[in-house]
Amino acid sequence: MTALNPDDAKRLAAARALDLVTPGMRLGLGTGTTAAHFVELLGLRVAQGLQVICVPTSERTRTQAQLFSIPLSTIEATPELDLTVDGADEFDPQLRLIKGGGGAHLREKIVAMASRRMVVITDSSKAVVTLGKFPLPVEVNVFGLEVTRRMILAAAKASGCDGEIRLRKTPSGHPFVSDNGHFIVDCFLGSIPDPNQLAARLVAIPGVVEHGLFIGIAKAVISAGPDGVEIFG
């Protein structure tokens, strides 16, 4: 038997999530390579006549969905959604997530929380016992960047984490700017022993626009790997 490579696993998880879509649904479309598989598979179903209306979580996803002629709306026009399908950078046994590897976690969180159900699709490498090996993205206001960075570091230390906070840069060395016009800092913490406590401290920092911890938001995780598909939640 051929081993499932991570990209095949992502597509398999996306295909499973497509089974949850029924005609007339209002969908949130996530961002990233796994979500892109879902958008492509959904596009094929739309071409066959499936009727849905979708809110993308990034300009990248909007462009991809338009290529597939998927009917789109905005979160302003469609503030209540039935289902959001999105990827994640890490998930733990309590279905707490780290998201934002693609810098889209602000819109992803708003869209997920506007949805009756958020389902995460991943390859099995994203499963962890303790969150934090993947650097935690935090979207921050451009004004006061250094002050905010120091406050994030203090919040991390007070929550039992240690590490470094780095401004995300593009390959050409410029600061990465989110779809919302903000910077992203990545918190290299190694391990987050108490994600709930860290999340509470981060939201209290004025320059923090949104952090990539998703707690109590995902209702299920569809994870595909060499042993097949596992559904958590």
Q: Which residues are catalytic?
A: 108
- Is residue 225 within the footprint of ligand 5RP (CB under 6 A)? no
Q: Is 163 in the site for ligand 5RP (CB under 6 A)?
A: no
- Binding-site residues for substrate, in ranges, read 31-34, 86-89, 99-102, 126
How far apart are alpha carbons 108 and 99 in whole angstroms? 9
Residue 86 makes contact with ligand 5RP by CB under 6 A: yes
Nearer to ligand 5RP, 8 or 162 (CB): 8
Minimum CB separation from ligand 5RP for residue 63, in Å? 15
Name the residue nearer to ligand 5RP (CB basis): 43 or 212.
212
Q: How far apart, in Å, are the Cα atoms of 122 and each of 12, 18, 76?
A: 9, 14, 28
Bridge partners of residue 83, in order along the sequence? 27, 117
**Which is nearer to ligand 5RP, 152 or 214 (by Cβ)?**
214
Residues in contact with ligand 5RP, total (CB under 6 A)?
A: 18
Tell me which residue of 33, 18, 1 sits closest to 126, measured CA to CA: 33
Alpha-carbon distance of 131 to 52, in angstroms, equals: 34
88 binds ligand 5RP (CB under 6 A): yes
Among 103, 132, 163, 225, binds ligand 5RP (CB under 6 A): 103
Which structure tokens are listed for 101?
Answer: 């590897």
Amino acid 8 reads D
Q: Pick the binder of ligand 5RP from 14, 16, 21, 30 (CB under 6 A).
A: 30
Q: Which DSSP string do the residues of 110-122 spell out, in sequence order?
A: HHHHTEEEEEEEE
Q: Is 107 within 8 Å of 58 (Cβ atoms)? A: yes
| Closest approach of ligand 5RP to the CB of residue 201, in Å | 21
> Taking CB under 6 A as the criterion, which residues in 192-221 touch ligand 5RP?
none
Minimal distance, residue 114 CB to ligand 5RP, in Å = 17
Stretch that binds ligand 5RP, among 67-75, 96-104, 148-156, 157-165 (CB under 6 A): 96-104
- Please name every residue paired with 86 in a beta bridge, in sequence order, or none if there are none: 120
Q: Which amino acid is at 224?
A: A
SS3 16: helix
- Helices then strands (H, E): number in the chain? 6, 13
- Out of 34, 84, 115, 148, point to the residue binding ligand 5RP (CB under 6 A): 34
**Cα R_g (the chain), whole angstroms:** 17
**What is the binding site for ligand 5RP (CB under 6 A)?**
30-35, 86-89, 99-105, 108
